[in-house]
Structure formats: structure tokens, C-alpha cells
């Protein structure tokens, strides 16, 4: 199975589920994040990172209703590990850092905290809250931290009801050009 077919199967199985606490499905959310990356003229690796940033949610059995969450599912690490066997670090590293990027932005930018959705505020607590100063310094030493912050912004933009985007299958060529199996 090609990497694109594998990804389409993963989305096909669970992508129609609601995106936790938001009014779009996980597939719609992912397509909107990729769309936002393309609108900004992001490189192909980051368009794919945006598209697949939440694939960890689709690989894991976590409750649909955010109110049932008692621990963070660490979907970014699950997703990043899965992607690491299929794509270069330029794709999987920003995915693995997109939740730390939220904790980072909450620590350095008060306006960022103010615009988070209610569901995102709820998960922030489960994810450890805003970073401490030493955590901020360590995060800024991560080779892909800037890319992770970009993915985070596209993630936050991907919650608009009714936005028209490309279909998932339109990413086949891009996924297969970057995938290594």
C-alpha cells in the first residue's frame, strides 16, 4: 500500500468524527490546516505536516467528547512516531512539536492565549499549561521549532464551519512525492 493509500485509509476509518470540542470533523480540520499552509505559500513538507498534524488522533482510541478527557492523549507523539517511518524529519518533527508549540505560544504571547477556543483552553490544562521559562529556552533550541509554531497557527485556523477546501485525495501526488515507502 502506498503512503497516500495508507493515509486515506486512516482518515476514511475515523476522519468523519467531530474534531474534539469544535464544530468541524477531523478531516475538515486537517484539510483546512493544509489549506492555510498553502495560502501562506508554505513548502511542501509543511503543507503535509499541517495536513497530518492530528493523525495521532485517528490512530488512537480516544473519547469523542472532550469532557471525557482526563489525561492528554499525547496525539502529537503518536502521530509523529507513525510519520517518522514514512516521511523526513521536516514533516514529522513539526507534527511532534505542535502541542509544545501551543504551550510555548501561551507562555510568550498573551494575545495568543486570549484567542484560543474553549476546547483548546481545556486541552491546554491537560497538556501541562503554558511553558516555564526554561521550557521556552529548550523549545527554542529545537531545530524545527519555528516550523512547529507555523503548523500550530494553521491548526488554530482550521476550525471554520463551511470553508471550502481541496478534497483529501487531491494530496495524493504531494504525499507520494514526500513519502518514503
Q: Which residues bind Fe ion (CB under 5 A)?
A: 54, 155
How far apart are alpha carbons 40 and 14 in whole angstroms?
Answer: 28
Q: Which of 37, 6, 14, 12 is nearest to 157 (CA)?
A: 37
Q: For Fe ion, give the closer residue by CB, 54 or 147.
A: 54
What phi-psi label fits residue 139: left (phi over 0), alpha (psi between -120 and 50 degrees) or beta? alpha
Q: For Fe ion, give the closer residue by CB, 137 or 166.
A: 166
In whole angstroms, the minimum distance from the beta carbon of 143 to Fe ion comes to 22
Q: Which residue is nearest to Fe ion (CB)?
A: 155
Residues in Cβ contact with 16 at an 8 Å cutoff, skipping those fewer than 6 apart = 25, 26, 27
Q: For Fe ion, give the closer residue by CB, 28 or 179.
A: 28
In whole angstroms, the minimum distance from the beta carbon of 134 to Fe ion comes to 26
In whole angstroms, the minimum distance from the beta carbon of 13 to Fe ion comes to 18
Amino acid at each position: 500500500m502506498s503512503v497516500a493509500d495508507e493515509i486515506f485509509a486512516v482518515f476514511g476509518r475515523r476522519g468523519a468524527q467531530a474534531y474534539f470540542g469544535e464544530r468541524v470533523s477531523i478531516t475538515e480540520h486537517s484539510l483546512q490546516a493544509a489549506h492555510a499552509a498553502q495560502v501562506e505559500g508554505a513548502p511542501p513538507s509543511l503543507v503535509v505536516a499541517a495536513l497530518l498534524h492530528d493523525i495521532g488522533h485517528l490512530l488512537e482510541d480516544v473519547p469523542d467528547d472532550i469532557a471525557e478527557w482526563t489525561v492528554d492523549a499525547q496525539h502529537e507523539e503518536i502521530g509523529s512516531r507513525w510519520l517518522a517511518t514514512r516521511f523526513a524529519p521536516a514533516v514529522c518533527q513539526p507534527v511532534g512539536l505542535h502541542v509544545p508549540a501551543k504551550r510555548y505560544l501561551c507562555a510568550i504571547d498573551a494575545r495568543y492565549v486570549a484567542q484560543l477556543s474553549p476546547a483548546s483552553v481545556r486541552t491546554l490544562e491537560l497538556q501541562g499549561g503554558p511553558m516555564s521559562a526554561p521550557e521556552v529556552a529548550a523549545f527554542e533550541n529545537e531545530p524545527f521549532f519555528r516550523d512547529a509554531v507555523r503548523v500550530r497557527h494553521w491548526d488554530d485556523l482550521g476550525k471554520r464551519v463551511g470553508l471550502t477546501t481541496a478534497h483529501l485525495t487531491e494530496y495524493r501526488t504531494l504525499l507520494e512525492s514526500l513519502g518514503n515507502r
